Amino acid sequence: MGTTTTDSLGSVLKVAVIAGLLAGAAVAGFHALLIEPVLDRAIALEVHLSQARGEGAHEPVIDRPTQRWGMVLGFLLYGAIWGLLLGVAFYLTRAWQPSTWGRQRWQGAAAGWHPASTYCMPPRSM
């Protein structure tokens, strides 16, 4: 199944935007699981230090749950926009793509899963 010129712009964009949304969801999940606890500890430390110095408590302009949802929404939007841009670029340059390569190989190469990308050079001997 090679890359054909009969793929419609709508089908290419649909796949690209879905891939972008999945990438945005993966990044949002990474940040929610690994980065947010660090931020929460840093905020708690900052509050503790400001109380130790005798400063009054500062109310945030936007509360943390709203910030978390904004982060998720922002990463989803960011992924969808990049998917849209890359989908348009793919659609406009498909005439330049080699016809001997299948669609799976192009998608794998774009994602960094091409077999050539797994080759590791042996360490140099001293």
Query: What 3-state DSSP class applies to 41?
Result: helix
Domain range for residue 13? 9-116
Q: Which residue has the higher pLDDT, 123 or 83?
A: 83
- The verdict on residue 3 lying in a domain is no
pTM for the complete prediction?
A: 0.67
- The verdict on residue 92 lying in a domain is yes
Q: Number of structural domains, the chain? A: 1
Q: Across residues 60-78, what is the average pLDDT?
A: 93
Question: Which stretches of 54-120 are DSSP H helices?
Answer: 64-92, 103-111
Average pLDDT, the chain: 81
The pLDDT of residue 36 is above 90 = yes
The pLDDT of residue 118 is above 90 = no
Q: Across residues 4-32, what is the average pLDDT?
A: 88
- The verdict on residue 123 lying in a domain is no
- The verdict on residue 94 lying in a domain is yes
Closest CA to 43 of 24, 68, 19, 64: 64
The two structure tokens encoding residue 100: 């001997």
- The verdict on residue 125 lying in a domain is no
The pLDDT of residue 117 is above 70 = no
C-alpha 75/C-alpha 30 separation (Å) is 11
- The verdict on residue 2 lying in a domain is no
The two structure tokens encoding residue 126: 């001293």
Indicate if the alpha-carbon torsion angle 72, 75, 79, 85 is positive or negative. Answer: positive
- The verdict on residue 108 lying in a domain is yes
- The verdict on residue 39 lying in a domain is yes
pLDDT computed for residue 18 by the predictor = 95
